[in-house]
Chain A
């Protein structure tokens, strides 16, 4: 899978690239629009991470160029602006998702996965990892053919989040922000995260599933199936 990171802040571009490379992506970087134009004309990417405020113009021009070139690359806008107008504008021009800075890399990783799945595996609504199979359309979870008790929307979301970042340590903060979105930093959310994880683990265990969710003390959780 090939990614293009269009971001003028080199530190941010590099940390993003470093994290995603471990996930198995091949990351290329462009620090300005000129470079970005060059890259998108020459190559095809599975997903493009696009910053809006670039030194030589607005990231929207890259989106427009992609549209003009009739490219099918997935695009996730990463912007410092949490503006509904910008979000709508981006989605109308052809972006697939919009992420506001600052963000967690696990969150970004999940969004990339979702975009690529939508673009590439149109008919495939099944996500499988270890013994767990998730039907994304029916929102049903199976453990070795055995149906798991109905998960609440938050629990289902949590499971997908874990499955999108296997072998990764997800801090409680990362999970809280993913589940709560805007209100994540308003309360002491760690109790909520703990409650959700506990319920999820319980339901999976009832279906006879191996406990893949490991607690990393003081830090958070890790989803590990033990497979390579």
Chain B
């Protein structure tokens, strides 16, 4: 769930509760105010009637005539003459009457008062109709719901507006971090914000990437320098061995030792060169792009291994589209095919097979080999070795992967029982 949706949901639940609670509260409050107001007006009306009766010096006949007329016009006033005196207090109460015009029972508020006018006792009843509580609740709910919806729309709109505006730097840096690769060695660009927290986040991210890039660069330079610097001492050892080999006193045992040392120096030097190649690819030192005819590169690579393939009794078959070209770096593409071919030969079996296929931007090289699949997660790792091959330094497929990454090619590994290993590259 998005952060904004989460806060929005909390706000919405809270306002919903408040609105639900507010409906009965408002109902009772309005009703109470209304009744108080009606009561006051009833008392006032009664006093006006008493005053009118007193000032006009009406006799009992006129008063009963007034009462009758008032009853006929249904203005809610009754004046009833009383025979004996009565000192009961005024009382206000609810009463229901059948409303003839509206044809249903209506709630009323009534005031009954006993008064003495011109030495005669009267009972005065005044009444006012009240709003039906159902209407009141309806009215309140209608108003509340309307406002609730308005509020809801407001919150959602404002929220989405702010999510776009205020959180923009946050989402910006998030998208940058998601696609960030340390080997691009580029600083993360940030979007300045007026929110302090975001600025802090931006600063922290920039600081973090800057430090990491620095460390990464230092490490890479170290690899490069170390690989370089070891080549000269290796050259010294190699040349000394060459000199030693010329000695006539050397016996067969010593010869074998010399050969073994020499072989391992070559291996070490190859390892250095491969590490350097990896460092160079990472440094993006191969940025030239040319149109490359894949079949030509494949032929070149094949020729380098021709005799080896024949010597090992490997059957080589190739289905490569002629004249089909891709735009890429020639050195890297050559190195890519070279390493794949090396791999296919190195781990092959006697009288095995190598198949090369290239069509529609898909290049596939398969070879027979061990009877079990290679672990897909480890096969492209540096120094991962498929077997205890003495001549293997375990960098070939790491280079292949690195080249594919840097040229935006997709590479995948498949195993087909019983012993077919395939690498498929999708050129983009």
Contact = CB atoms under 8 A, between A and B. Distances in A.
Interface in B270-309: 270, 273, 276, 280, 285, 304-305, 307-308
Contacts of A102: 231, 234-239, 265-266, 269
Contact of B228 (A81, A84, A106, A186): A81
A104 interface: yes
A80 B223 CA distance: 14
Contacts of B305: 183
B311 interface: yes
B48 interface: no
B391 A185 contact: yes
Given A82-B276, A169-B245, A192 B308 contact: yes
Contact of B270 (A185, A188, A220): A185
A196 B252 CA distance: 22
Contacts of B258: 171, 219
B213 to A, nearest CB: 24
Contacts of A172: 259
Nearest to B276: A82
B145 interface: no
Interface stretch (A8-16, A58-66, A128-136, A142-150): A8-16
B304 A173 contact: no
Given A169-B246, A183-B342, A188-B391, A219 B255 contact: yes
| Band of interface residues on A | 35 or more
Contacts of A121: none
Contacts of A216: 255
A106 B302 CA distance: 27
Given A82-B273, A173-B259, A101 B234 contact: yes
Contacts, number: 130
Interface in A150-201: 154, 168-169, 171-174, 177, 180-188, 191-192, 195-196
Contact of A173 (B229, B231, B250, B263): B263
Nearest to A152: B307
A104 B238 contact: yes
B184 to A, nearest CB: 22
Interface string A1-27: 000000001011001101100100000
A9 B236 contact: yes
Interface string B110-133: 000000000000000000000000
A102 B308 CA distance: 24
Nearest to B254: A218
Interface in B211-256: 228-229, 231-243, 245-246, 250, 252-253, 255-256
Nearest to B250: A219
A53 B232 CA distance: 10
Interface residues of B, number: 46
Contact of B266 (A9, A15, A84, A185): A185
Contacts of A173: 259, 262-263, 266
A184 B263 CA distance: 10
Contact of B239 (A15, A171, A185): A15
B42 interface: no
Chain A CB count within 10 A is highest, among B238, B239, B250, for: B239
A84 B331 contact: yes
A103 interface: yes
Given A9-B236, A173-B262, A219-B258, A192 B304 contact: no
Contacts of B243: 15, 18-19, 105
A85 B280 CA distance: 12
A182 B391 CA distance: 13
Contacts of A187: 308, 345-346, 391
Contacts of B242: 15, 19, 104-106, 171, 174
Given A172-B259, A218-B252, A219-B256, 4 more contacts: A9-B232, A82-B276, A100-B273, A102-B269
Rank and list the top 10 A-B pairs by shortest CB-CB distance, nearest first.
A218-B255, A219-B255, A102-B235, A80-B231, A218-B252, A15-B239, A101-B235, A105-B242, A102-B234, A102-B238
14 contacts: A9-B236, A11-B236, A100-B273, A105-B243, A168-B246, A169-B246, A171-B245, A171-B259, A173-B263, A187-B308, A187-B391, A217-B252, A220-B255, A220-B259
Interface of B: 228-229, 231-243, 245-246, 250, 252-253, 255-256, 258-259, 262-263, 265-267, 269-270, 273, 276, 280, 285, 304-305, 307-308, 311, 331, 338, 342, 345-346, 391
Interface of A: 9, 11-12, 15-16, 18-19, 22, 53, 80-85, 100-106, 154, 168-169, 171-174, 177, 180-188, 191-192, 195-196, 216-220
